[in-house]
Amino acid sequence: MVSVQQHNELREGDERSIRALINDWVVWRDAGDWCRFATLWSDDGTMSATWFQGSAHDFIEASRRGWEKGVRIWHQLHGCSVDLSGERAIAQTKMTILQRARVTGVEVDVTCHGRFYDFLMRGREGWRLCHRQPIYERDRLDPVNPAERPALDRERLLAWPEGYRHLAYVQAEAGYRVVADLPGLTGEPVERLYARGDLWLEGAALTFEPLPI
């Protein structure tokens, strides 16, 4: 029989492993280390983002192609909270997405704050990422050169959700097809996500239905 101390030690070990996976995701993805990046996902892992909805395999290939074309999207991590239930877990990690791009001829930096909401499962090879859904809470856009000012179309900007409207605007201008109904700090999309997380911890199957782009 497992003692309370042993149970706590096992739990702490699982949490450390999950946090290590989340850290590796950011470092390897942002460095273009695609071979090691691929080892973090389950065989049927899926990814959702502003510009992508699909399998982890396709996400890696799309990220690789963007990297080779000079697209640069960076990530910073902050606090992390893990909910464990046997071989399953939900992790929420405060994060910042940073993207440099050109819009209306001006070089800009977009900063988007939010959370990674991760569905994870432990198998024979340890913890793996089954699905990642970012939650977009707020963002901003700044010119790299303060003397320049991009001429944004206000109507198009305000058509995007508040949590990622500047990021969406820049990505759409660059030719990406951007999802328009992703989870934010509040609202129905994030409530649906939380409900899916609760069901995952209870043992339900994880179904991935890409949002229309």
Rounded to a whole number, what is the largest CA-CA distance in the chain?
68
pLDDT at 116: 98
| 93-102 own/partner pairs: CB under 8 Å, 24+ apart | 93/22, 93/118, 95/26, 95/134, 97/73, 97/134, 97/167, 98/73, 98/74, 99/72, 99/73, 99/74, 99/167, 99/170, 99/171, 100/72, 100/144, 101/170, 101/171, 101/173, 101/174
| 104-137: pLDDT as tens digits | 999 999 999 999 999 999 999 999 999 999 999 9
pLDDT at 18: 98
- Residue ranges of the chain whose pLDDT lies below 50: none
Q: Report the run of H or E that residue 170 belongs to, with start and end.
A: helix 165-173
pLDDT at 72: 86
Q: Over the chain, what is the mean pLDDT?
A: 93
Q: What are the structural domain ranges in the chain?
A: 4-201
User: What is the CB neighbour count within 10 angstroms for residue 122?
Assistant: 16
Which CATH fold topology does 4-201 show? Answer: Nuclear Transport Factor 2; Chain: A, (3.10.450)
The CA angle 61-49-95, to the nearest 5 degrees, is 110
pLDDT at 21: 98
Which among 67, 75, 28 has a CA at the least distance from the CA of 49?
75
pLDDT at 30: 96
